[in-house]
Chain A
């Protein structure tokens, strides 16, 4: 199979992650780990440092052929945390995809969009993932052709390319204009929707509930494993389901060696419908800049993944007790799940947690540095205690889905 896609440095501040992947190279790693005998031709762009990294990798993987195009500086994607939109160095507008044109003709092609190059592919079976939230390119606009085209795309990218907001209109666009054979819309913590040829009804591809959630590169893994399975003869639904399973293993482990975990798969599936989810109450102190920054990051992340949030900081603000407490408690009464920031053991936050427990609400506690004794009452009342911010936010989403 052929893989065309980016090779980028990825840096995450919290939790620590400093690696060289990018969509294309991650898919190469995933498939080579899973099936070392698979012959892969990889087309990418890289600067001298990444070129040396790819050369070293290639020496250990003889079934892999790499066709690199040298560029001056490869992009670095920097994340404060995995749910934050990455900052790209150098600035993305300094790259022009018109400068480099990558063309691949073959039977089976997995094609990811690149920041620094345009792509054109001609194949029998093609999986296309545009991989650009800011400026996704339609398959048709690249001049590419496929006998059977499967587009795997984020919901936000699908809306941008189609110019539509409703799923049905989006589906019509991709089948009628883009002429795809199948369409998979990735929905993050909700799983994915698979539209088969000729069917207006989507098959839900479930998300699997993992212990930990590491989302950087999860979309790459989904598209990569889907393509691998489909090219190997699995049907679309089986391929998409396997891709979701592979993605959950990667998200749980931050590791691309998924074979053993896939053979002994242990995560339970969650089918989340279209109905709206419960409201989240965001409890936590906001007296200092660092506390306000964290509350704001959590608020943004919860909203970004599609949750309705009541935040005393954002929705009520500072004030005297007689002005704010009643409003906060009304917000808490109206919420289904509480997300609490506990480091520092703020008395107001502990009060809110106790109040919510008495009202039988689910509590997700984000806490990194408190001792066992301080957490005993919370542990004993079935609060979910999480050290990892992204995991805490995803678990909040899944619990909000369960309460409806």
Chain B
């Protein structure tokens, strides 16, 4: 034994490893600027569309009628936007809803 290593890494349940491809990018996060009138009609397990409003963003989550449920803010924002611009399609599954607070998982399809 030689003692502990220099860096043990930072625990993360997401896959923001720089080697991950766009297809393998998974982000668990909260919906930012959630729109209560849209969120109130959503259910846990529902899968929503992820859309970049422009090549600068914002990255939005849309319900089946095209209404904006909220934005995606993540430490992987730049990579996610580049992946969307380069053709990867993502969806956001609703993991939980607590009042207007909504946790989602973003993954490629």
Contact = CB atoms under 8 A, between A and B. Distances in A.
Contacts, number: 70
A255 B101 contact: yes
Given A78-B10, A211-B99, A53 B77 contact: yes
A20 B77 CA distance: 9
B32 interface: yes
B29 to A, nearest CB: 7
Contacts of A351: none
A255 B32 contact: yes
A14 B30 CA distance: 13
Contacts of A358: none
Chain B CB within 10 A, most for which of A17, A49, A78, A254: A254
Interface stretch (B12-20, B42-50, B61-69, B86-94): B12-20
A45 to B, nearest CB: 17
B2 interface: no
B6 to A, nearest CB: 10
A212 B81 CA distance: 31
B100 A253 contact: yes
B37 to A, nearest CB: 11
A254 B30 contact: yes
Given A53-B75, A78-B10, A89-B7, A18 B56 contact: no
B105 to A, nearest CB: 10
Interface in A258-289: 260
Sort chain A's interface into a size bin.
20 to 34
B84 to A, nearest CB: 12
Nearest to B10: A78
A78 B11 contact: yes
B12 A18 contact: yes
Contacts of A33: 33
A270 to B, nearest CB: 20
Given A9-B75, A211-B99, A255 B57 contact: no
A255 B30 contact: yes
Interface size class of B (residues with CB under 8 A): 20 to 34
A282 to B, nearest CB: 25
Nearest to B59: A56
A76 interface: yes
A16 B28 contact: yes
A59 interface: yes
Nearest to A259: B33
A254 to B, nearest CB: 5
A15 B101 CA distance: 13
A140 interface: no
A100 B77 CA distance: 28
A257 interface: yes
Contacts of A256: 32
Contacts of B33: 33, 255, 257
B62 to A, nearest CB: 17
Interface in B51-109: 56-58, 73-78, 81, 98-101, 103
B32 A18 contact: no
Q: Which of A18, A59, A256, A260 has the most B CB atoms < 10 Å from its CB?
A: A18
Instruction: Give the interface centre of A56, A59, A260 by most chain B CB atoms within 10 Å.
Output: A56
A252 B103 CA distance: 14
A124 B68 CA distance: 42
A75 to B, nearest CB: 11
B14 A18 contact: yes
A13 interface: yes
A11 B10 contact: yes
A52 interface: yes
Given A53-B78, A253-B100, 5 more contacts: A18-B75, A53-B75, A60-B58, A254-B30, A255-B101
Interface of B: 7, 10-14, 16, 27-30, 32-34, 36, 56-58, 73-78, 81, 98-101, 103
Interface of A: 9, 11, 13, 15-20, 33, 49, 52-53, 56, 59-60, 76, 78, 89, 211-212, 252-257, 260
